[in-house]
Amino acid sequence: MTPSRSAPPLPQSLVPEGRAESTDDPPRLATTSVAARYAQPISIGPVYRQPTYRFQSLRHGCYFLQWRPKDTWWYRFNGTMRVERHGAGTTASGDLYHHNAYIIQRWPSYRFVSNPDPSPSAGIPIFPRSGYRYYLRVTGILEWFTIGSGFTLRFERHRFDSSSNSWTNEGEFSAYMAFKPAPSGYPSGATYLEGDLKDPVGTDVGRISMGWVSPFLRKAVLEVDRVSQSEYPADNGGGVDWADVYEAVDWDVSVYESDTDLSEPSGEFWSDAEMHAAMLDRRDSSDLDNEWRYHLICVRRLDSTSRGIMYDAYGGDSNNIPREGASIASHWTIPDTSQWGTVAGERFGAAAAPYFRTAVHEIGHAMGLYHNTADTGFMNTTGTIAASAGTFPGNVQWAFNGADQRRLRHMPDPWVRPGMIPFGQSYGSTPVSPEDRLDLGEDLQLSVEPLLDSVPIGAPVRVRLTLTNHAEVPLRVPDSLSLKTEHVRGEVVDPSGTVRGFQSILRCIEEEEMSTLEAGESMTHDLTLLRGAQGALFPAPGAHTVRVSVTWELDGMPVRVAGKGSVMVEPARDQSHASAALKVLSAPDLLLTLALGGDHLDEGVEALKAAMDDDTLAPHYGVIEAKRVGRRFKDREADPAKALEIIDDKTVMSPSEVRRMTTIAKELPAKERKKKNRASGLRAMKKRAAGADALKGEVDGLL
């Protein structure tokens, strides 16, 4: 059994024999209540004076699931079973968490005490994330009803490895589930079943039970905080609100507005670091082991994008707990062009429909969903929908695409639950993995060129990407090759052959801009590589190969282009360099400091300081420190003068970093820029801009 990083396949719709199985879930109306859609199990009394036949069925909703392994009293597995009843039959899935039957009480004396199960009367149970063990993909269940005493439940059991976020299919298990009266504590009229569980070879492995607790499949909380100038995205202005959105996918989501007076750290623009810090400081609860809590911040403007972002991923995740928060910008101005229909020229927060749609879109990312261009539903991007047929926003489909609905109902808990699997891993055959994309290598060339042929160990590696159109016709390509878009990923192969991957640090912005690359034209962008999901990308001396791929959709077809380059990593030159290199290679937060700046990541700032104190590494980290101090953070003002003084002739900078430093330098009056140390920093920037005439001229204009 080989572990897989892709999610287990979702369960199929199970239909009664003789009925054709539908490949698509039927549409679900947001205006129909859960209570109205799903009635009590059918029960019919005496017929023709014959013995009473009781027609029994499974009730739609969430069941408290428990497996008590045989021959052990110390632990059991608790979880939920989601039973979705729909026009085509039944679809079901489940999750199991390890639960110790006893825990150690330390006061007033050491002893074992009972660790109770969750109460079914409380509705859908929530379990500690660290206890997650299995996903159950149901392959056999009661599709409609039976007059017997029960039915055979069958499911594939997929074991989860939290260290690698991978899954292992342990085969199909089965149990004959008999209907029984629900124990005390269950809701009135609850459906309850028990059976002996058999493993794939038929061995009895314990007792399994499932009892209905809610008409919903999942439960969560969404807290919304905002600055006073930003609107609360309550609904679409046309009768669709948060309750309608989530009830349509069988989620019980409590949405509420909390703080309405967030303080803007330093002006109306918010950085990703500032939003994450505000979430940690202002949210009402952070106990993700007792509730699924998502957090939405409404601000006037965003640094990294225009409309919205789920910033809590990769570079935006300063506490390494993924998918907790998202943000939208109320003061973005919608372009005043015909494409934007009836809201052209409006301020975003004043345009209820697209503003609310973007809020749902970003929380969809927090729930593990990616962009989906199959229709004009929530997970498509606003710009794409505006460019689609019909008048925007009247052409918006106020629902999740059918495939995304199925994912929200039946993906494993770690995929959709905040604080578990990081954003960006493949959830199966959809979306198409990069290996299945059409390779455009004959028409487009991607060159990967390190800025320096060799770097000292511990230094980041700066790489220039150049995408060239060799076709005879223009081609639509991503507007940017930045790691802040969702198009770029890659891997580094070290001298021993170990492969470590990296990918976009922000893959969940609301817009997905494209541009036209004319025949014979090129576009360039710089990447600064330091760490990936498996740790430091360049942890040892020797030759390293950097492979990069860019993926997107072209006329509905998933495509990609790939390239590679090489860089030599030099060994430590002295004890000071060795100590500093160890510090930076061992500090995961240094990548976040590089990406976000700010002062809130103590470990990252400390590692950056260690690099700046070493003569060998300081030139490679100088511009990173300069950008950090040159950008505001919360109560600390930006210090562009100090930023320029950090730069000197030895500082290693890519053209993109020179461009960013130019923006910082413009904040200084001309008289201040001409002071000795600052002017020398500008001259060093001009030297690093060689080959980019426009950028060189821009720096020259500051001197």
DSSP string, 135-146: EEEEEE---S-B
Contact status, residue 298 vs residue 328, Cβ threshold 8 Å: yes
| SS3 annotation, 499-551 | EEEEECCCCCECCCCEEEECCCCEEEEEEEECEECCEECCCCCEEEEEEEEEE
Say how many domains are in the chain: 3
Beta strands 61-69; 204-214: pairing state? antiparallel
Q: Is residue 596 part of a domain?
A: no
Rounded Cα–Cα distance for residues 84 and 472 (Å): 51
410 and 366 fall within a common domain: yes
Contact status, residue 446 vs residue 440, Cβ threshold 8 Å: no
CA angle 656, 660, 665 (to 5 degrees): 140
332 and 229 fall within a common domain: yes
Rounded Cα–Cα distance for residues 304 and 130 (Å): 33
Asked if residue 29 has pLDDT above 70, the reply is no
Residue where a domain terminates, one of 555, 571, 587: 571
Query: Sign (positive/negative) of CA torsion 360, 364, 365, 370?
Result: negative
47 and 188 fall within a common domain: yes
107 and 189 fall within a common domain: yes
154 and 222 fall within a common domain: no
Residue where a domain terminates, one of 552, 571, 590: 571
201 and 232 fall within a common domain: no
397 and 460 fall within a common domain: no
> Quick one: pLDDT band at residue 48, thresholds 50, 70, 90?
very low
321 and 180 fall within a common domain: no
Q: Is residue 52 part of a domain?
A: yes
Rounded Cα–Cα distance for residues 412 and 505 (Å): 23
Range(s) of the domain holding residue 468: 432-571
Provide mean pLDDT across the span 164-178: 92
Q: Is residue 688 part of a domain?
A: no
Q: Is residue 397 part of a domain?
A: yes
502 and 399 fall within a common domain: no
More confident residue, 608 or 47: 608
Q: Is residue 360 part of a domain?
A: yes
**Tokens for 482?**
């930045």
pLDDT value of position 510: 63
Neighbour count for residue 264 (Cβ, 10 Å): 17
Across 122-126, 217-221, 283-287, 666-670, least confident range: 666-670
Map residue 291 onto helix, strand or coil: coil
> Quick one: pLDDT band at residue 52, thresholds 50, 70, 90?
low
More confident residue, 27 or 155: 155
Query: Sign (positive/negative) of CA torsion 695, 696, 697, 698?
Result: positive
pLDDT value of position 620: 94
Highest mean pLDDT among 29-33, 35-39, 256-260, 370-374: 256-260
345 and 268 fall within a common domain: yes
Q: Is residue 678 part of a domain?
A: no
pLDDT value of position 511: 63
pLDDT value of position 431: 27
- What is the CATH number for 295? 3.40.390.10
**Which residues are bridge partners to 77 per DSSP?**
67, 98
How distant, in Å, are the alpha carbons of 449, 628, 652 from that of 570? 18, 27, 16
Provide mean pLDDT across the span 307-334: 80
Question: What's the first-to-final CA gap in the chain, in angstroms?
Answer: 64
Tens digits of per-residue pLDDT, 360-407? 999 999 998 888 888 999 998 898 899 889 999 999 999 999 989 999
- What is the CATH number for 514? 2.60.40.2360
232 and 358 fall within a common domain: yes
228 and 79 fall within a common domain: no
CA angle 407, 76, 82 (to 5 degrees): 25
Q: Is 411 exposed, middle or buried (0-12, 13-18, 19+ CB in 10 A)?
A: buried
Residue where a domain terminates, one of 214, 246, 268: 214
Q: Is residue 1 part of a domain?
A: no
Percent of the chain clearing pLDDT 70 (strictly above): 84
Q: Is residue 674 part of a domain?
A: no
| pTM of model > 0.75 | no
Tens digits of per-residue pLDDT, 500-551? 888 765 545 666 677 888 999 999 999 999 888 788 899 999 999 999 988 8
